[in-house]
Amino acid sequence: MNNRVALTGNEAVAQAMKQINPDVVAAYPITPQTEIVQFFSNFVNNGQVDTEFVAVESEHSAMSAAVGAASAGARTMTATSSQGLALMFEVVYIASAMRLPIVFPVANRALSGPINIHCDHSDAMGLTNSGVIQLFSENAQEAYDNMIQAVRIAEHPDVLLPVMVNLDGFITSHALDILEVLDDETVKNFVGIYNPEEFLLDVKNPISMGNLDMYDFYFEHRRQQVAAMEAAKKVIEDVGKEFEKVSGRPYGLIETYKLDDADMAVVLLNSAAGSAKGVVDELRAKGMKVGVLKPRAFRPFPFEEISTALKGVKAVAVLDRAETFSTLGGPMFADVRAALYDLKNDIKVINYVYGLGGRDLRLEDVEQVFNELDEIVKSGKTDKVVNYLGLRE
Amino acid sequence: MAKVLEIRWHGRGGQGAKTAALMLAEVVAEMGKYVQGFPEYGPERMGAPILAFNRISDEKIHIHSNVVNPEIVIVLDATLLGKAKITQGVGEDGIYIINTTKTPSEVRELLGLDDGKLFTVDANQISLETIGRVIPNTPLMGAFVKATNLLPFDEFFDKVRGQLSKKFKSKPEVIEGNLEAIKRAYQEVKSE
Amino acid sequence: MTSGVGNPCNKNFGQGRRTKAINSDLPWKELTKAGNIYEPGNSNSYETGDWRTLKPVWNEERCIHCLICWRYCPDASIIVTNEKFDSFDYKHCKGCGICANVCPAHAIDMITEEQQPLKKKEAKKDE
């Protein structure tokens, strides 16, 4: 293929948005997402897209404007990071409850305080219960591919939920990386023309959206959202298969790397999964049976796929780039451990919290994790369930 | 894992270390290799010591951690010698390319180095004469090509021209100045 | 897993009068998606008349058909025909008494529900 380009993660996302050519983008700048909006507004200014760009005064307004536009029947996007996502919080819940297919990239960044602009997943993990679909991207390529697929997933009639496309702030957003881009026509055909089944500006079929629910309806409508999230699993896989046909790159709910015969595995999201693959290659060369599991979808959480993929391993370390303050480790640890519970296979599962506030995950750190898993497999004992990786003790 | 060449750039905020790392990556990418180019983002202050990194490989690069054991170190500002940790993590056959008026052996003494290969070039003077102001990042790319002998210079030069033409469409004099700077640095870089 | 594939909420689409699917006796799968309402003006079917403790009655002899009551009524419960007062909409009138208060001819009295049987020209069914 000769469409290999060198782009930063933010450029790749903006490029995907340009090719998708959404009807409305409402966004507010925040580090490290700023460039996405900046590049995209250039496309708007240069007439390279037909998008109505709404320059709002805050992220709360950005998502509110997106809710309005999506309700009106527009293919709608926004973008944010960290504090911006936190400010968006209440409106994200409204977008998902109103079943609006808004797609928004999030360049993952730590939440204040202490004030920090660097990568971790605290922002995304703050919205795991909001009813949005969350996809994670290892590198610029996946961020680009996820953006294009997100449109189809969000707008699928079985789903109709917002989709958040996560990429690591700075590590992915600001690093120049090699990726293959699709041509404009392919993207245009893949996302198709947006024909919402119902929308506010459909004067022939008037509709009232975002209505008040009392205790006699709220519970039922929440249950409908769960059903949509369940349906999203199949849709994410189907869209992934279809995307493979046009791109040659397969996508599912999870990605496994050298896991088939592995005794030990690490589970981690985004760019760190790439570093872990590098370490796995080195350790495999030394004869260690190690592998990587990278969830691509975190909401809906692929319980079945994860328990199937890990059922043969003896010890698993879940690496979380966010803290829950439950005092039992990070958010993904809880979910992965729950997924493995019913297997009753006595798989040892431990947790590492790493990389908070942009702390680099070094290859030695990942190696250390595998060495400790090796100890656990040999001794059959787990000393510490929750650990901190790369922390000064 | 396939062989990955790692580069660390030392500079000061405003000298173009990040721009150079990204531009080098773009050029090398165009030459068909897999690359990464990324800065270490700190508080972005003019004059503060900063780092930028490259990875170059013939195969897809998975890892996303910072570069800790570079094969090549490029220093944009001579005043960083003795202050920044120039030699940290570098192996015994590491290559150092330094923007300074000093000779390689003078720099070796300054750094207290026993091994490695040292190259120096007066990129400040070259950029002043060719671009019209002190902007040492592009000439250092020329020195890089000479010192490492990894990439054929003519092809590299053509791709840089392409990149610069895209970036400075309206300023042809900037393009020519930068190209001249790269050529001169390629010719003038000193080894031991 | 608790439900099958596909979105059960969508089975509701295309069933015609979808307001019927907004009913607190129905299970979640049969309600409209996200509580969307597909037929305008459905507040008409919500009868607020039983909130009333006092009801307005019309004194035909005194009425000068100025229609100030019609203008003031917050629940659009004054029914006017041919630019003349016709009747009260007792299905929706909450008995607030504003009409009686603003009437310059004292042609509206507020009485308790039990006090008096309805007179001949009163509640007309809305359509």
| Per-residue pLDDT tens over the stretch B104-125 | 999 999 999 999 999 999 999 9
User: If DSSP codes are grouped into helix, strand and coil, which group holds residue C91?
Assistant: coil
Q: Rounded distance, CA A338 to CA A307, Å? A: 9
Contact predicate B78/B99, CB 8 Å: yes
Tell me the whole-structure pTM to 2 decimals: 0.90
Reduce the DSSP state of residue A271 to 3 states and report it.
helix
Instruction: Give chain B positions within 8 Å (CB) of A3.
Output: none
Choosing among C5, C7, C29, C43, which should be mutated to test the A contact, i.e. which has the most A CBs within 10 A?
C7
CB contact under 8 A, A174 and B34: no
Task: Look at residue C7 in the predicted model and tell me its pLDDT.
Answer: 43
Domains of chain C: 8-43 (no CATH), 48-112 (3.30.70.20)
The overall average pLDDT reported for chain B is 92
What is the pLDDT averaged over residues A80-88?
98
Q: Which chains touch B (3 or more CB pairs under 8 A)?
A: A
What is d(CA A317, CA A376) in angstroms, rounded to the nearest whole number? 11
Q: Would you tell me how many other CB atoms lie within 10 Å of the CB of residue B98?
A: 28
Give A157's contacts in chain C (Cβ within 8 Å). 7, 10
Give the pair of three-digit tokens for residue A269. Answer: 């999201």
Subunit contact A272:B64, Cβ cutoff 8 A: yes
Give the pLDDT score at C117.
52
Mutation pick from C25, C36, C45 vs chain A, by most beta carbons of A within 10 Å, is C36
Q: Could you read off the pLDDT of A259-302 as tens digits, one per residue? A: 999 999 999 999 999 999 999 999 999 999 999 999 999 999 99
> In angstroms, what CA-CA distances link A48 with A190, A300, C35?
19, 34, 38
In sign, the C-alpha dihedral spanning B149, B151, B155, B158 is negative
* Angle (deg, nearest 10), helices B153-167 and B137-148: 160
Under an 8 A CB cutoff, do A221 and C35 touch? Answer: yes
Q: Do chains B and A touch (3 or more CB pairs under 8 A)?
A: yes
A172-180: average pLDDT: 96
Q: Smallest Cα–Cα separation from A357: which of A76, A122, A150?
A: A122
So what's the pLDDT on residue C6? Answer: 43
Q: In chain B, which residues touch A (CB < 8 A)?
A: 1, 21-22, 25-26, 29-30, 34-39, 41, 60-66, 68
Confidence grade of residue A2 (pLDDT, cut at 50, 70, 90): low
Percent of chain A scoring above 90 in pLDDT: 96
Residue C5 confidence (pLDDT):
40
C59 touches chain A (CB under 8 A): no
- Nearest-CA residue of chain A relative to B4? A278
Neighbours of A240 (CB within 10 A): 21
Residue from B3, C34, B137 nearest A218 by CA: C34
Record: contact C34-A221, CB cut-off 8 A: yes
- Measure B62 CA to nearest chain A CA, in Å: 5
B21: chain A residues, CB-CB within 8 Å: 176
Question: Do C9 and A224 count as a contact with CB atoms less than 8 A apart?
Answer: yes
- C90: closest CA among C74, C99, C72, C78? C78
Q: Which residue of A has its CA nearest to B54?
A: A176
A344: left (phi over 0), alpha (psi -120 to 50) or beta: left
- B63 and A170 within 8 Å at the Cβ level: the answer is no
Residues contacting residue B109 through CB under 8 Å, at least 6 positions apart = none
| Gap from C31 CA to chain A (nearest CA, Å) | 8
H or E element in which residue C65 lies: none
Which pLDDT band, with edges at 50, 70 and 90, does C40 fall under? confident
Which residues on chain A are in Cβ contact (under 8 Å) with B38? 170-171, 174-176
Angle, alpha carbons A358-A364-A368 (nearest 5°): 105
Tokens of B192: 């031991």
Contact C34 A98 (CB under 8 A): yes
Tokens, residue A60 = 């709360």
User: Among C28, C37, C42, C44, which would you mutate to test the A interface (most chain A Cβ atoms within 10 Å of its Cβ)?
Assistant: C28
Please report the pLDDT score of residue B192 as a whole number.
86
Domains of chain A, start order: 4-247 (3.40.50.970), 254-389 (3.40.50.920)
**Contact across the interface for B41 and A170, Cβ inside 8 Å:** yes
Residue A382: CB atoms within 10 A of its CB come to 14
Residues 6+ apart with CB under 8 A from A50: A21, A23
pLDDT number for residue A335: 97
Of the residues A67, A102, A221, the best mutation for testing chain C's interface (the one with the most C CB atoms within 10 Å of its CB) is A221
Peptide bond into A162 cis (omega under 30): no
Alpha-carbon distance A67 to nearest alpha carbon in chain B (angstroms): 34
Query: Residue with structure tokens 């925040």?
Result: A30
Question: How far is A19 from chain B, CA to nearest CA, in Å?
Answer: 21
The nearest CA of chain A is from the CA of C47 a distance in Å of: 17
Residue A40 has pLDDT above 60, yes or no: yes
Measured between CA atoms, how close is A195 to chain C, in angstroms?
Answer: 15
pLDDT digits (tens, 9 = 90+) for C87-124: 999 999 999 999 999 999 999 999 987 776 545 444 55
- In a mutagenesis test of the A interface, which of B36, B62, B163 is the best target, namely the one with the most A β-carbons within 10 Å? B62
How many Cβ contacts (< 8 angstroms) between chains A and C? 71
Distances (CA, A) of A341 to A41, A302, A308, A326: 48, 14, 12, 19
Q: Can you tell me the distance from the alpha carbon of A355 to that of A361, in angstroms, rounded to the nearest whole number?
A: 6
Compare B14 and A357 and report the one with higher pLDDT: A357
Mean pLDDT of C71-90: 95
ipTM of the complex as predicted: 0.87
The residue type at A261: D
Question: Strand order of the sheet with strand B95-99?
Answer: A4-8, A176-180, B34-40, B49-57, B4-12, B72-75, B95-99, B117-121, B190-191
CB spacing of A160 vs C7 below 8 angstroms = yes
Tokens of residue B102, six digits: 């000093």
Q: Measured at the alpha carbon of residue A384, what is the angle toward residues A378 and A388, in degrees to the nearest 5?
A: 115
Phi-psi region of A43 (alpha: psi -120 to 50; beta: other; left: phi over 0): alpha
**Each residue of B105-119: b (16+ CB within 10 Å) or e?**
eebbeebebeebbbb
Q: Summarize pLDDT for A52-70 with one digit per residue, the tens.
A: 999 999 999 999 999 999 9
Question: Which of A118, A176, A278 minimises the CB distance to B25?
Answer: A176
Question: Could you give the CA distance from residue C97 to residue A219 in angstroms, rounded to a whole number?
Answer: 38
If you average pLDDT over every residue of chain A, what do you get?
Answer: 96
Please state, in angstroms and rounded to a whole number, the distance separating the CA atoms of residues A124 and A297: 12
Q: Is A113 exposed, middle or buried (CB count within 10 Å of its CB: 0-12, 13-18, 19+)?
A: exposed
Q: Taking 80 as the threshold, does the pLDDT of residue A102 lie above it?
A: yes
Please, which contacts does A333-337 make with residues 24 or more away whose CB atoms are closer than 8 Å?
A333/A386, A335/A301, A335/A303, A336/A267, A336/A306, A336/A310
Pick from B78, B56, B59, B58: which is nearest to B8 by CA? B56
> Which CATH number is associated with domain B4-191?
3.40.920.10
Beta bridge pairs of residue B120: B98, B190
Q: Sign of torsion, CA C73 C76 C79 C81?
A: positive
Q: Which of B29, B39, B64 sits opposite A275 (nearest CB)?
A: B64
CA angle A224-A225-A226, nearest 5°? 90
Query: Which residues partner with B54 through β-bridges?
Result: B7, B37
